[in-house]
Amino acid sequence: MITATSNHINLFKELRIKSKAYFELVKFRLSFLVAFSSGFGYVLGTTGSLDWQVLIMLCLGGFMISGAAIIINQIIEKDLDAMMTRTCNRPLPTRKVTVKESIILSGVLGILGLAILHQFTNPLTTFLSFVSMILYGFVYTPLKRVGPIAVFVGAIPGALPPLLGWVAITGVIDANALILFGIQFIWQFPHFWAIAWVSDEDYRKAGFKLLPGRGKKDLHTAFQIMTYTLFLIPLGLLPAKFGLTGINSAIVATVCGVLFLAQTFKLIRDCLPGNVSESRKSALGIMFGSFVYLPVVQIAFLLDKV
């Protein structure tokens, strides 16, 4: 009896450890943000009553496809992740899960996600979701060791979720869909580059080349980050201009854009002689600022939907 109970306890512990590893493998928070952005586009494109069943299934399918793409990324980079401090404790480098298990989980999530989208949305949404998964898993991932072109390529699947939501409800890629895509696309650049700046030493260990231009943490890179952040201010006004939202969200987007931009000025100042030691702290501020900017602006658009 004691042995049987002990076996049950050990089995429960193993299941809990394995479940936690799978949870980490799909990067739940990142996949949830992808699902949220898809739902954001769907709600913004809805006229009349909201179909909650389709919305929920869209978000679920988006979550699964995002999880599948993220797992593909980690399978390919498992040996590189083991070299870096920020990623060495991920499930694959620590062997909490095997490559075979990861491949199976990625395949199941990808197939189920696409099947759900095919059943509840439309062929265009399903096709674009498949393209997004391929771009992130098999194109962006190896390009990270080639050069900063990886950021451009990675920004495409990163910006597709709100467009996918819009296409799921409307069935077309129109100007409004491209506006939603454009905001999230441009946002990717200061977001990625701030992370690359903060993690530069780690990234160099793995041979990742994500910073623009000469790939250095210098004034040129800081200016690039500032320039792309600046574009977010006029882009944030376009939903109101095209009648998607009202003036209130335009004000929120402008304020968030200006505050985000102000952080980049600090990075530029810290790249001047005598201030370089503070540049990592400034880049960290931009990174966290990017985490705040996108959900706040998207929620403002939703609350102010015309």
pLDDT of residue 214: 81
DSSP 8-class letter at 209: -
Which residues have CB under 8 Å from 288's CB, separation 6+? none
Report yes or no: 194 and 283 within 8 Å, Cβ to Cβ: yes
Domains of the chain and CATH, by start: 15-173 (1.10.357.140), 174-306 (1.20.120)
Question: Is residue 90 left, alpha or beta, with left meaning phi > 0 and alpha meaning psi from -120 to 50?
Answer: beta
* Residues 279, 276: Cα–Cα separation, whole Å: 5
Three-class SS of 75-115:
HHCHHHHCCCCCCCCCCCCCCCCCHHHHHHHHHHHHHHHHH
Which residues have CB under 8 Å from 262's CB, separation 6+? none
The position carrying tokens 């069935």 is 171
pLDDT tens per residue, the chain (306 residues)?
556 565 556 667 778 888 889 999 999 999 999 999 999 999 999 988 899 999 999 999 999 999 999 999 999 999 999 999 999 999 999 999 999 999 999 999 999 999 999 999 999 999 999 999 999 999 999 999 999 999 999 999 999 999 999 999 999 999 999 999 999 999 999 999 999 999 999 999 999 999 998 888 889 999 999 999 999 999 999 999 999 999 999 999 999 999 999 999 999 998 876 565 678 899 999 999 999 999 999 999 999 986
DSSP letter string, 280-302:
HHHHHHHHHHHHHHHHHHHHHHH
DSSP 8-class letter at 136: I
pLDDT of residue 220: 92
Question: What Å distances lie between residue 239 and 28, 40, 145, 171, 297, CA to CA?
Answer: 29, 13, 36, 19, 11
* Residues 302, 290: Cα–Cα separation, whole Å: 19
* Residues 259, 267: Cα–Cα separation, whole Å: 13
221: tokens are 């890179």
pLDDT of residue 270: 87
DSSP 8-class letter at 138: I
For the chain, where are the alpha helices, taking DSSP H only?
2-25, 28-45, 52-76, 78-81, 99-120, 123-134, 141-143, 149-170, 175-198, 200-206, 219-241, 247-270, 279-303
| Burial (0-12, 13-18, 19+ Cβ within 10 Å), 139 | middle
SS3 state at 305? strand
**Helices 175-198 & 279-303, crossing angle to 10 degrees?**
160
* Residues 52, 24: Cα–Cα separation, whole Å: 28
SS3 state at 245? strand
Dmax over CA atoms of the chain, in Å, equals 72
